[in-house]
Amino acid sequence: MSYTLVKNAMKDDRTRLGYDRLAEKTFGLSFSGWYESGHFDGSHIPYTLFDGDKAVANISVNLMDVCFGGQIKKYIQLGTVMTDPDYRGQGLQKILFDEILKDFEGKYDCMLLFANRKVLEFYPKLGFEKERYYDFSATIPAADCEIRKLDMSNAEDVAFFRKLYDMGNPYSALEVKNGFALEMFYCGGPYADNVFYIPQYNVAVVAEEDGDAIICLDILGEKVTDIKDIMSAFGKEKLIMGFTPADCGGFAVKENTDDDTTLFILKGSKNIFSKNQLLFPMIAHT
C-alpha cells in the first residue's frame, strides 16, 4: 500500500483536519482550538502518514529549550504517537521515526518521550532506553492568602499570564523555556480552570486539586518565597509537585513507578536524568 508522508500536517487545513481526527480517535485530543486561538507557534511538528485524505499514523516532534544547571539545551520530545487500528503491523512508526532522525540529525541535544504500558517493548527497538524519574511531595500548612482565578478565555488575563510566564519559573530546577505555546495548549484547554494568581507573591500558579492534595504544575513570576509558602494558600494538607523543585529541602523524594508514563531517552542523547533526581515538568508532556 502506498502512503503520503506529510511533514508538519499543521500547515495545511486538509492535513491538519486529518491529523486532528486521528488524535481524537486515538487519544480524545483535538488541536483545532489551540491552533485557532493563535497560540500555536510551529514548535509542534506532526509527521503524518496519509492514505488519501485519511491520517493513518503519526509521530509529532516537539521542539523545546530546556534549562538545567544554568545551561539551555535543545530537546526534542516525541508525542502523539499513534496508528489507526486498521493500519497497524505495517511498520509505519518505524518509517516516521527514521524520517525524523534523518531530518533532525545534529539539531538536538536530547530526544525523549513518555510511553504507556502498552508500548514499553516497542521503543527499545528504536534505540530508546528506559530512564528513571522522581516524584516530590511535602506536607504543608494552610494559610490565609488571597487567590484570584485567571480567566483563560479573557485576553487581558491571558496577556497578564504571559507577562508572568516570560519571567520564568525560578522555583524549578528543570525548566522548559520559550514554551508558551505548549503552556497554552494546557492552560487554554484541559487546565483552563486551574490557573490562579496570588497577589501576595505576584505569581501565577497552575494547580490541580486531588482530594486532600494540591498538585503544583507551574509557578510563574519572580522568586520571593518558598514553594510551600505559595502552595499553602490552597488550604490542602499535601503538596505534590509537577516539576523538580529548585530547593528540595522538606520534600519527600521517591522514584516514580507508574508504567503508564514511562520515560524513554534516545541512546546517544545528553542524559541528565541518569545522574540526577529529576521530574520533567508535567505541563510540558506532549
Mean pLDDT in order along the chain per 10 residues (286 residues):
93 95 96 92 97 97 97 98 96 97 97 94 95 98 95 98 98 96 96 98 97 97 95 97 96 95 96 97 96
User: Do 62 and 127 have their domain in common?
Assistant: yes
pTM listed for this prediction: 0.94
Residues 118 and 19 occupy one common structural domain: yes
111 and 224 share one domain: no
* 128 DSSP β-pair partners: 266
**Measured distance CA(78)–CA(153) in Å, rounded:** 28
Cell 504571559 sits on residue: 162
Same domain, 144 and 91: no
- The CATH number covering residue 156 comes to 3.40.630
Query: What is residue 240's three-state secondary structure?
Result: strand
Longest distance between any two alpha carbons in the chain, whole Å? 64
Count the neighbouring beta carbons within 10 Å of the beta carbon of residue 69.
9
Report d(CA 181, CA 21) in Å as an integer.
Answer: 21
164 and 100 housed in the same domain? no
- Terminal CA-to-CA distance of the chain, rounded, Å? 30
- What is the amino acid identity at position 160? F
Whether 106 and 38 map to the same domain: the answer is yes
3-state secondary structure (DSSP) of residue 248: coil
**Domain assignment of residue 27, given as a range:** 4-131+257-284
Nearest to 38 by CA among 159, 120, 217: 159
CA-CA distance, 57 to 184, in Å (whole number)? 25
Based on the fold, state whether residues 82 and 33 are members of the same structural domain: yes
Per the CB < 8 A criterion, the answer to whether 96 and 47 are in contact is: yes
Same domain, yes or no: 232 and 262: no
Residues 6+ apart with CB under 8 A from 220: 161, 164, 165, 167, 168, 169, 203, 204, 205
For 168, counting Cβ atoms within 10 Å of its Cβ (0-12 exposed, 13-18 middle, 19+ buried), the class is middle
Structural domain tally of the chain?
2
pLDDT (0 to 100) of residue 259? 87
Whether 36 and 120 share a structural domain: yes
Question: How distant is the alpha carbon of residue 154 from its chain centre?
Answer: 23
Alpha-carbon distance of 180 to 197, in angstroms, equals: 17
**Residue 97 DSSP symbol:** H
